[in-house]
Amino acid sequence: MKLFLVAGEPSGDRLGGAMLQGFADIDVAVAAMGVGGPMMAAQGMASLFPYEELAVMGIAEILPKYRHLKRRIAETARAVAASEAEALVTIDSPDFGLRVAKLARAANPSLKTIHYVAPSVWAWRPKRATKMARVIDHVLALLPFEPPYMEAAGMSCDFVGHPVVSEPLATAAEVSAFRSAHGLSEGPVVLVLPGSRGSEVSRLVPVFGQALNGVNASLVLPTLPHTRATVEQMTGDWTQPPILVDASDAVQKRAAFACADGALAASGTVSLELAANGTPMVIAYDMNWLTRAIMKRAIQIDTVTLVNLVSETRVVPEFLAEDCKPDAIRAGLQAILQGDSGQEAAMALTMERLGRGQEAPGIRAARSILKVVYPEGGQT
């Protein structure tokens, strides 16, 4: 089976990599081509161009790169046509992927189109699902309450679970080795997670640094290769510089998550990774003033943290937009480090509802795609 895949950031790359592994696990041969990162490359897919170019979030952040992104959209759509793929699978990054789907569908109206990660229409801009249905046939949802929203807009949709539930957790030996290597034998450890996008890191690291000033804990900051230099430069003047860990090293990353007593994290999927490890968290996030103003008018929910949403609780404290202030964040973090945050049960329930203990999400995603590409049950 030939698939053209488009992933524009680390979370999408992880989904794509797990999905390709899922096909291998059920003995379905896939010739994959498209745009992706190291996880998809590990499954044999070469990327048309570095996927980091697409890791831009926010309206004001996208504007300066609009012309370049538009060229990449056209280039990718042409590659879809040339690939003769049986289906186009866009993974997360809807601002890029759905524009590619629109051009690809215009060139080939019979092309099957699948989008992995349902748009959060339950949170803001509900009309996005209707708009997406013009170019997308089928959706793979990560959250159990999303399929009805997609189906109401005219697309088929399967809840396939979230890949975080099947990712390995650190062993006791890995945690012990990590602590020993970084001198973390005594005292609490705080995980610092300012995001994976360059724009997020640049905006949040200074605020996080001020918030952590006075917190009596060792600081561990996992970072990706494309943001490491920025992080090193921006944390150099912190009162307590963090220990930088290569987040692309799976063993180091999971050991860092497992050994933490608490975390200060940007909003996003990382809250689920923390929940998988049972690590209590504080969420803090800010954005460009223009994006902030637009989002404030559009938002339809009272929490953006996935643990709060999936568990139907509000136990994870959030400091967002104008509330993303160092003093408030520090107080919230110190409170969870004192224990009894009420997050343990909510994190366990979140993992259960996202599919922990069931068939791996990558396999479920692969089966769902097969159903769309070969509705009669045959495959080549």
**Three-class SS string for the chain?**
CEEEEEECCHHHHHHHHHHHHHHHHCCCCCEEEEECCHHHHCCCCCECCCHHHHCCCCHHHHHHHHHHHHHHHHHHHHHHHHHCCCEEEEECCHHHHHHHHHHHHHHCCCCEEEEECCCCCCCCCCCHHHHHCCCCCEEEECCCCCHHHHHHCCCEEEECCCHHHHCCCCCHHHHHHHHHHCCCCCCCEEEEECCCCHHHHHHHHHHHHHHHCCCCCEEEEEECHHHHHHHHHHHCCCCCCCEEEECCCHHHHHHHHHHCCEEEECCCCHHHHHHHCCCCEEEEECCCHHHHHHHHHHCCCCCCCHHHHHHCCCCCCEEEHHHCCHHHHHHHHHHHHCCCCCHHHHHHHHHHHCCCCCCCHHHHHHHHHHHHHCCCCCCC
Write out the two tokens for 247.
Answer: 């987040």
Sequence ranges of the domains in the chain:
2-161+358-373, 172-353
Q: Dmax of the chain from CA atoms?
A: 63
Helix 172-181 and helix 250-259, axial crossing angle in degrees, nearest 10: 90
Q: How far apart are CA 146 and CA 159, in angstroms?
A: 7
Choose the CATH number for 2-161+358-373 among 3.60.150.10, 3.40.225.10, 3.60.15.10, 3.40.50.2000.
3.40.50.2000
- Rounded (5°) CA angle 138-139-144: 140
Can you say how many angstroms the Cα of residue 300 is from the centroid of all Cα atoms in its chain?
Answer: 21
Q: Are 200 and 312 in contact, with CB atoms under 8 Å apart?
A: no
Do 2-161+358-373 and 172-353 share a fold? yes
**Sheet with 138-141, edge to edge strand ranges:** 31-35, 2-7, 87-91, 112-116, 138-141, 156-159
Each residue's pLDDT expressed in tens, for the chain with a length of 380 residues = 999 999 988 889 989 999 999 999 999 999 999 999 999 999 999 999 998 877 654 444 556 677 888 899 999 999 999 999 999 999 998 889 999 999 999 999 999 999 999 998 887 778 899 999 999 999 999 999 999 999 999 999 999 999 889 889 999 999 999 999 999 978 899 999 998 888 889 999 999 999 999 999 999 999 988 889 999 999 999 999 999 999 989 999 999 999 999 999 998 889 999 999 999 999 999 987 777 777 777 777 889 899 999 999 999 999 999 999 999 999 999 999 998 778 999 999 999 999 999 999 999 999 999 999 999 875 64
Q: Are 333 and 324 in contact, with CB atoms under 8 Å apart?
A: no
Q: How far apart are CA 246 and CA 221, in angstroms?
A: 9
* Predicted local distance difference test score (pLDDT) of residue 66: 74
**How many Cβ atoms from other residues are within 10 Å of residue 229's Cβ?**
10
Q: Are 222 and 254 in contact, with CB atoms under 8 Å apart?
A: no
List, in sequence order, every residue forming a beta bridge with 156; answer none if it has no partner. 138
List, in sequence order, every residue forming a beta bridge with 7; answer none if it has no partner. 91
* Predicted local distance difference test score (pLDDT) of residue 380: 46
User: What is the residue whose two structure tokens read 């994976």?
Assistant: 196
For the structural domain made of 172-353, what CATH number should be given? 3.40.50.2000
* Predicted local distance difference test score (pLDDT) of residue 61: 52
